[in-house]
């Protein structure tokens, strides 16, 4: 890859993404204005718009999504390993869920407001005393209907392993007995390209801007999304966390031998 061409590609994509974000934000505000104080309708509108936004973003950045299994529907939790902020776009394009994010995201310009309008649940990970309030908000989000995504590793990784799952936020599953579906994400780049570990994963001391700039320089990449065949349930969060970690790890390690061929999707639509 020519460095000059790569930088030009990244700059062009950045401009397109900025325009896409602004356009979708205006459309979302206009659509939600009609819902007024109907919280359920506003959240539904928000997730629909975010799905369209995520789908288009994946097209712009050259992502191919290969899917095994079926995205779950209805209330409950979706538990995944966490590699990059691209994870959010991928899952949003397939399952139309609600996400859990760190509290500082709510204060980011434009993106913070967009996150609030689509029903994101914000958590203060550094303060244990806020855990009861966070669990109440999560429980309300689960009962409201859209599937809620948790990344129980607690941070992004290099994408070459699945870290042990932290059980704290799985207390909501123990309280409600809701279904918890495991999902595994695994990224790959093509021959001659930087490995996913350095070009897609966001870890170590890399800044968000540096990570995004490297990612946008890639000509294309793929992500394999494997949804578990059946949900897990449990009334004790620690055993449930271990079972979920085992399920996600097994799917992540599967080299697809003997498994049904994944279907490729672009922009949330199947590609023949």
Q: pLDDT 10s digit of each residue in the chain, 272 long?
A: 567 779 999 999 999 999 998 888 888 888 877 776 676 777 788 888 889 999 999 999 999 999 999 999 888 999 999 999 899 999 999 988 888 887 888 887 767 777 887 778 887 766 667 778 888 888 888 887 778 999 999 889 999 999 999 998 899 999 889 999 999 999 999 999 999 999 999 887 788 888 899 999 999 999 999 999 999 999 999 999 999 999 999 999 984 444 444 555 544 433 32
The answer to whether the CB of 1 falls within 8 A of the CB of 214 is no
For residue 33, the tally of other CB atoms under 10 A from its CB is 10
The closest alpha carbon to 152, from 163, 140, 138, belongs to 163
Which pLDDT score is estimated for 127?
A: 63
Contact 60/18 with Cβ under 8 angstroms?
Answer: no
Three-class DSSP labels, 245-263: HHHHHHHHHCCCCCCCCCE
pTM for this entry: 0.87
Alpha-carbon distances of 101 from 5, 24, 149, rounded to whole Å? 34, 20, 10
Given this model, what pLDDT does residue 134 score? 80
- Domains belonging to the chain, first-starting first, are 3-257 (3.40.1130)
Strand order in the sheet with 63-68: 121-123, 98-102, 148-150, 77-80, 180-188, 221-227, 63-68, 263-266, 269-270
pLDDT of residue 189: 94
pLDDT at 102: 79
Instruction: Find the length of the chain.
Output: 272
Q: What crossing angle do the helices spanning 39-60 and 3-35 adopt, rounded to 10°?
A: 160
The per-residue pLDDT for 123 is 79
Q: Which two tokens stand for residue 36?
A: 């007024």
pLDDT of residue 271: 33
Q: How far apart are CA 239 and CA 148, in angstroms?
A: 20
pLDDT of residue 128: 67
Q: What is the pLDDT of residue 264?
A: 53
Q: What is the pLDDT of residue 1?
A: 57
98: three-class secondary structure by DSSP: strand
Whether residue 202 contacts residue 157, with contact meaning beta carbons closer than 8 Å, is answered with no
């Amino acid at each position: 890859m020519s460095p000059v061409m790569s930088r030009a590609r990244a700059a062009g994509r950045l401009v397109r993404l900025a325009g896409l974000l602004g356009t979708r934000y205006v459309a979302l505000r206009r659509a939600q204005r009609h819902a007024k104080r109907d919280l359920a309708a506003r959240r539904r509108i928000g997730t629909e718009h975010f799905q369209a936004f995520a789908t288009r973003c994946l097209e712009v950045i050259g992502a191919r999504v290969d899917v095994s299994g079926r995205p779950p529907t209805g209330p409950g939790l979706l538990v995944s390993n966490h590699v990059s902020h691209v994870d959010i776009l991928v899952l949003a394009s397939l399952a139309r869920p609600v996400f859990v994010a760190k509290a500082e995201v709510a204060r980011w310009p434009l993106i913070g407001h967009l996150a609030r309008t689509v029903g994101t649940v914000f958590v203060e990970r550094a303060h244990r005393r806020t855990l009861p309030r966070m669990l109440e908000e999560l429980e309300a989000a689960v009962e409201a209907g859209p599937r809620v995504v948790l990344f129980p590793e607690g941070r992004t990784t290099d994408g070459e392993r699945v870290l042990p799952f932290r059980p704290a936020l799985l207390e909501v599953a123990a309280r409600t007995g809701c279904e918890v579906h495991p999902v595994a994400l695994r990224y790959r780049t093509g021959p001659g390209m930087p490995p996913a570990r350095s070009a897609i994963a966001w870890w170590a001391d890399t800044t968000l801007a540096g990570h995004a700039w490297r990612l946008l320089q890639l000509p294309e990449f793929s992500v394999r999304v494997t949804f578990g065949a059946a949900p897990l349930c449990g009334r004790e969060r620690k055993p449930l966390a271990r079972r979920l970690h085992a399920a996600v790890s097994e799917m992540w390690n599967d080299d697809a031998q003997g498994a049904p061929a994944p279907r490729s999707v672009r922009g949330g639509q199947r590609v023949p």
